[in-house]
Amino acid sequence: MAALTVKYPGVAGGLYVWTRGDFGPWHGFLAFWVYWMGIAFLLPSAAMFYMSAGFYALGPGYAHLAGNRACLLAASLAAIWIALGSNLIGLKIGKWTENLGGAATWLLGGLLVALAAIIWTRRGVATPIQLVPKWDWRTVGFWSTIAFAMSGLELAPLMGGEIRDPTRTLPRAGWIASAFITVFYSATTMALLVILRPERISEMNGLAETGDAASRALGASWLSPLIALLVVASGLGQIGGLGTAVSRLPFAAGTDRLLPAAFAKVHPRWGTPHISILAFGAVSSFLLVAMQLGDTMRAAYQELVSLMVIAGFLPYLYIFGSAWKAGRRLSASSGWAITSLAIVCSVAPTAEIANVWLFEAKLAAGTAAVVASAWLVYRRNVPAS
């Protein structure tokens, strides 16, 4: 990322600008569109995860709301629009959503680690700790999610025009972020396994379930509401940060006249690409509701996660292609290998998927629809040669 930012300095748009410059306008647009849709899949899945965990963490009186589809959808939609709305009126306001969300994430992780340490000293570990994972076809899909969790550095160059000294700042931020992410995920995963066995930790409510178990083990009833607050704040920060960064992609495409001219406009008062942000919120909201059709709520969540990984990683093939052209051959080869493996793993259904054929059909249809829609929009808006 750093090499490509140096190659295209001071320009907003990141992967769109890189791919357009190295492979041509259509490939640049395809990379932008697929990535943009990948984050559009991420927002509803993140909203469902955080709101479900928040309900569950509030205690027995509210835990049932985590399984109530209508209630969870309403809360998820509210989270999406609150987070995006705070960034709609400018980074001076929106940055506080991200800052509070980031602080809440670290506080939540630190709290879980501290609780695990206390419980370990009192009763030992709930799960025998094994550093070498066991192979299980039912968990293959999680490997792609882990890979996706380690991504995100490509978001910063999307706002390259708003970063001071990006050629110096981004490489340093990349190394620092990678180290902290590794420590954070490793420590919090260990904490969850110390408190609960894996079979008792669900994908959607794992944080809340662990917090509830720790609360009962230590007799601290105040823990559940605190964890619920931290979970919701973390979710709002993540959604807001992703939304405001990705909104720069349609803005860059709009200035190239590959999208309607409205996408290239900024709000006269707030100075934000407001049309891009509103369009992104509308697409995410539609996907949140549409993916619920014909399946259980947990299966719909897993489908959103898998489509998020597929669409989110496909543009990486272009990014590493640009890295190859920039002379970063080893990085490009390694990146292509990990990206391809992550995409393959994402199509493996988890144990919670009852109807495998419906799951795979939705993934195939969703991926095809994303690519086909990119072609239709591009052909409609590409300037005549």
Q: Is the pLDDT of residue 162 over 60?
A: no
> What does the alpha-carbon distance between residue 211 and residue 201 come to, in Å, rounded to a whole number?
11
Q: How far is CA 288 from CA 87, 194, 206, 283, in A?
A: 20, 33, 21, 9
Sequence-distant (6+) residues with CB within 8 A of 318 are: 15, 18, 19, 22, 23, 27, 30, 31
Q: Which of 226, 204, 200, 203 is nearest to 213 (CA)?
A: 200
> What does the alpha-carbon distance between residue 235 and residue 53 come to, in Å, rounded to a whole number?
10
Q: What is the full DSSP assignment across 164-202?
A: SSHHHHHHHHHHHHHHHHHHHHHHHHHHHHHHS-GGG--
Cβ-in-10-Å burial (0-12, 13-18, 19+) of 188 comes to buried
> What does the alpha-carbon distance between residue 65 and residue 51 come to, in Å, rounded to a whole number?
10
* Domain span holding position 132: 2-381
CATH number of the domain enclosing 336: 1.20.1740.10
Q: Is the pLDDT of residue 82 over 70?
A: yes
Per-residue model confidence as pLDDT tens digits over 85-140: 776 776 566 566 777 778 888 898 899 999 999 999 988 888 887 777 676 666 77
Model confidence, pTM: 0.75
**Mean pLDDT score, 202-220:** 83
Q: Is the pLDDT of residue 72 over 60?
A: yes
**Mean pLDDT score, 244-271:** 74
Contacts 24+ apart (CB under 8 A), 105-109: 105/230, 105/234, 105/237, 105/238, 106/184, 107/230, 108/207, 108/227, 108/230, 108/231, 108/234, 109/184, 109/187, 109/188, 109/191
What would the two tokens of residue 265 be?
């406009």
- Element holding 76 (H helix, E strand): helix 69-88
Residue 263 is predicted with a pLDDT of: 78
Residue 115 is predicted with a pLDDT of: 93
* Domain tally, the chain: 1
Instruction: Kindly state the DSSP code that residue 133 receives in the 8-state scheme.
Output: P
Kindly report the average pLDDT of the chain as a whole number: 80
**Quick check: 363 and 379 in contact, CB under 8 A?**
no
> What does the alpha-carbon distance between residue 216 and residue 297 come to, in Å, rounded to a whole number?
28
202 sits in the region (left: phi over 0; alpha: psi -120 to 50; else beta) called beta
Per-residue model confidence as pLDDT tens digits over 315-362: 889 888 888 887 888 888 988 898 899 898 888 887 777 788 888 888
| Amino acid identity at 69 | R
Per-residue model confidence as pLDDT tens digits over 14-42: 777 788 888 988 998 898 889 888 888 88
